[in-house]
Amino acid sequence: MKLLFLLAVVAIVYFWWKKNARAVVAVRPPMVKRPLDEAQRQLFARLQSALPSAMILAQPSIAQLVESDDASLAAAQLDFAVLGRDARPIGVAVLAPLDPRQETLLTDAGLRVARFKPGALPDDQQIRDAFGYL
């Protein structure tokens, strides 16, 4: 009998505490993260070195470079965009293969598409050749 009474008191206290306790949510503090992986960081440095007068945008969407009615294509993210001195897009540099429709959209808009392999990044002259820079 005493055990049953003790269990009833414990249950009442538990449910009262559960009802009145504030929900404690573990919130992690914001932390800076690296938006580019190692291969992207290396290619970014090479692009900057080879094209010092160009602007290099990291991880732009196709919509930032090309006007298109196809929202599914325009929302795709690229590795890098190369812009001329006048901030006009010249081309894109990618490490991963593009969807053929995305590549067609970019090339039809007049942009150059330069594909590079993470393990075999190009030298400065190869990058300049890929984007038509002297």
55-58 vs 80-83, strand pairing mode? antiparallel
Residues of the domain holding 119: 38-131
Tens digits of pLDDT across the chain (134 residues): 777 777 777 778 787 777 776 656 678 899 999 999 999 999 999 999 999 999 999 999 999 999 988 888 878 899 999 999 999 999 999 999 999 999 999 999 999 999 999 989 999 999 999 998 75
Q: Tokens 């090339």 map to which residue? A: 107
Domain count, the chain: 1
User: Is 2 a member of any domain?
Assistant: no
Within the chain, strands assigned E span 55-58, 80-83, 89-94, 112-115
User: Is 3 a member of any domain?
Assistant: no
pTM: 0.74
Distance CA 80, CA 98 (A): 13
User: Is 45 a member of any domain?
Assistant: yes
DSSP 78: -
